Amino acid sequence: MKIAPIDISHKSFKRKAFGLDADEVADFLKVVAEEMETLIRERNKLKEEMRDKELSLLEYKERDKVLRDTITSAQRMSEKMREDAEREAKIIINDASQKAEMIVRDARDSLKRVYQEITDIKRSKMQFESSLRALVQTHLNLLDSQQEVTTAVNAASSANTSVRISPLSSS
């Protein structure tokens, strides 16, 4: 049964012969009621403080949970960024490697073409030199033949004889 301080201060007792001193009982009940009222106020104050502490604790627990979630999320995001960066780096390296291989292959092909052109030019030069030598030789032969004809014509004209000129032959 709950007893409030007011119940104690208003409590009345039956009187019996040679019973209790009513003033002494009343004074004692008043002291008990005041003490009980003080204890109840302290208890209520402690309950209020405890409720505040529990709310603070809940708030701290919530902050802790948010902080842990944030850290976990940041770690996941960091891991994902690292994986993405590694994947991107591999792609860049593969692309660069393929481009380098293509550049080397193109350079080799260009070098082969240049060597082939040099070979073709050397062959053309040799053919040209050969043709030019043949042409020069033909012209020299013509000049020699012309010289012979001129000499024969001059000799015939000095001797006043007729000269028969045969057609020129190319050597």
122 within domain boundaries: yes
164 within domain boundaries: no
Q: Is the pLDDT of residue 22 over 80?
A: no
Mean of the per-residue pLDDT values for the chain?
88
Contact 22, 15 (CB under 8 A): yes
Q: Mean pLDDT, to the nearest integer, of 82-92?
A: 97
Q: Mean pLDDT, to the nearest integer, of 92-96?
A: 97
Indicate the number of domains in the chain. 1
The residue that leads in pLDDT, 22 or 38, is 38
Q: Residues of the chain with pLDDT > 90: what percent?
A: 60
Q: Mean pLDDT, to the nearest integer, of 155-170?
A: 67
166 within domain boundaries: no
Length of the chain: 171
Q: Is the pLDDT of residue 62 over 90?
A: yes
Q: pLDDT tens across 26-49, in order?
A: 888 888 888 888 999 999 999 999
**What per-residue confidence (pLDDT) applies to 128?**
95
**What per-residue confidence (pLDDT) applies to 12?**
74
Under DSSP, the state recorded for 121 is: H
User: How many helices (H) does the chain have, and how many strands (E)?
Assistant: 2, 0
170 within domain boundaries: no
**What per-residue confidence (pLDDT) applies to 14?**
72
41 within domain boundaries: yes
**What per-residue confidence (pLDDT) applies to 80?**
97
**What per-residue confidence (pLDDT) applies to 169?**
57
What predicted TM-score, i.e. pTM, was given to this entire model? Answer: 0.43
168 within domain boundaries: no
Give 3-state DSSP helix, strand, coil % of the chain, rounded to 5. 85, 0, 15
**Burial call 54-63: b when 16+ CB within 10 Å, e when fewer:** eeeeeeeeee
68 within domain boundaries: yes
Angstrom distance (rounded) from CA 87 to CA 99:
18
169 within domain boundaries: no
The residue that leads in pLDDT, 75 or 16, is 75
Owning domain of residue 72: 5-159
Q: Left (φ > 0), alpha (ψ -120 to 50) or beta: where does 18 sit?
A: left
